[in-house]
Amino acid sequence: MHRERSTQSLAPLVSVIIPVYNTEESYLRDCLRPFIQHTDSRIEIIVVDDGSQPATGEILRRLTQDCPNSIQLLRRKNGGQNAARNTGVDASTGKYIEFLDSDDCIDWQSQLKVLDVLETQQPDILGINVIRCTPAGATIGVLQFTEPDSLYHDVPAEYVLRKCGALWNQIVRRDIFEQAGIRLLEGIYIGEDLASIAPLIMSARKVGVIGTALYRFVDRPTSITHIVHPERLLDITKAFDFILNWMHSRVYADGFDEAHWLPEIERLAIIHICFRGVGRAVDWEGVHSSAIARLKNYMDRRFPRWRNNSLYQNDSSMHSLQYRLVIGGHYWTYLLCLRVSHMLAQFKSGKKE
């Protein structure tokens, strides 16, 4: 691994970790612009080039060479997004870890507010709001932990766990990684963020949220999230194996309350395996996808009483039409609804253009 570094004398409050793999230059510029145009000694930026083409490495070198903040540019063999993130965590010196994907960006004024909150409140984990937008910057929606612009307040860890999914909408104290005995799960495509953040949340003692929309998630057509990979449909089961194995290991290591957390993880499995996992298989491979039975069998084996989960039964959002179609096995109807929804979205997009 090759390292280029610009250093400052004081240990930073936050290490912003940015994994990069052949990201287009325009997105890299937008991602790094706030850190190039502004400075704050409480931040260090760690850019990890995960085996990109030489042209991407040259772009990164140009963009980072004049950055006024403390910045590291690391280069490693390609290992995937979480492998690059782990490299960044290993190299970090900040009290907190903030993850930023190279095709997304942050709002600088919101970043300053978050830094102030971390200094004064010192949570183990801070949940932030996220704006989902087009590459042109138009807002598509908001992923929120709390009301927009609301002040910091403590919440139960369960509250954040129920809303989590991506690494980038939580900021985590670096020592929680060590306390939890966690390295981010590598080697899978679907569920790697969920598998990594869930144990960190369950290990936290002080969890808070703030209504500041720090993160801008750019929904770009060339994103890896839009690429169909049927061979990876079962990755989500590996993610839950990782979580369940971690939970079991912590029972013996430090008396982790597995019985308390298992219903929460079971609820997440209903969302990510029974609904999204099976729904993804229907969308990608059709109603006769072999992955459907394998996903359902996994649920029945690992969570044999999932249908009786009280969190699932009492959550109205998990009894919508789409949920009922997928979980009830009405795959043809679900697929028809999905196709109509896609057509309407394309029609609306065409009208706007």
* Burial (Cβ within 10 Å: 0-12, 13-18, ≥19) of residue 138: exposed
Question: Contact, 93 vs 72, CB < 8 A?
Answer: no
Checking if the pLDDT of 351 tops 90, the result is: no
244-253 mean pLDDT: 92
Residue 61: name the closest of 45, 44, 49 by CA: 49
What pTM value is reported for the model?
Answer: 0.92
Query: 207 in the Ramachandran plot: left (φ > 0), alpha (ψ -120 to 50) or beta?
Result: beta
> Which CATH number does 2-226 carry?
3.90.550.10
**How sure is the predictor about 223, in pLDDT bands with cuts at 50, 70 and 90?**
low
Position 213, amino acid: A
Q: What is the pLDDT of residue 136?
A: 87
Q: What is the pLDDT of residues 18-40, one digit of tens each?
A: 999 999 999 999 999 999 999 99
Checking if the pLDDT of 8 tops 70, the result is: no
Checking if the pLDDT of 310 tops 60, the result is: yes
User: Per-domain residue ranges for the chain?
Assistant: 2-226, 230-352
The alpha helices in 21-156, defined as continuous H runs, are 25-37, 54-64, 81-91, 108-121
Checking if the pLDDT of 352 tops 60, the result is: no
Checking if the pLDDT of 7 tops 90, the result is: no
Residue 237: name the closest of 279, 207, 195 by CA: 195
**How sure is the predictor about 344, in pLDDT bands with cuts at 50, 70 and 90?**
confident
Q: What is the pLDDT of residues 40-97, one digit of tens each?
A: 999 999 999 999 999 999 999 999 998 999 999 999 999 999 999 999 999 999 999 9
Query: 237 in the Ramachandran plot: left (φ > 0), alpha (ψ -120 to 50) or beta?
Result: alpha
Q: What is the pLDDT of residue 105?
A: 97
**How sure is the predictor about 126, in pLDDT bands with cuts at 50, 70 and 90?**
very high
**How sure is the predictor about 320, in pLDDT bands with cuts at 50, 70 and 90?**
very high
**How sure is the predictor about 153, in pLDDT bands with cuts at 50, 70 and 90?**
very high
Q: In terms of pLDDT, which residue wins out, 34 or 255? A: 34
Cα–Cα dist 307/312, whole Å: 8
* Burial (Cβ within 10 Å: 0-12, 13-18, ≥19) of residue 166: middle
Tokens of 309: 């989960």
209-213 mean pLDDT: 96
Cα–Cα dist 348/264, whole Å: 37
Checking if the pLDDT of 216 tops 70, the result is: yes
**How sure is the predictor about 220, in pLDDT bands with cuts at 50, 70 and 90?**
confident
Q: What is the pLDDT of residue 137?
A: 87
Residue 17: name the closest of 76, 131, 97 by CA: 97
Q: What is the pLDDT of residue 348?
A: 65
Q: What is the pLDDT of residue 282?
A: 96
263-281 mean pLDDT: 97
Average pLDDT along the chain: 93
Checking if the pLDDT of 330 tops 60, the result is: yes
189-201 mean pLDDT: 96
Q: What is the pLDDT of residue 229?
A: 81
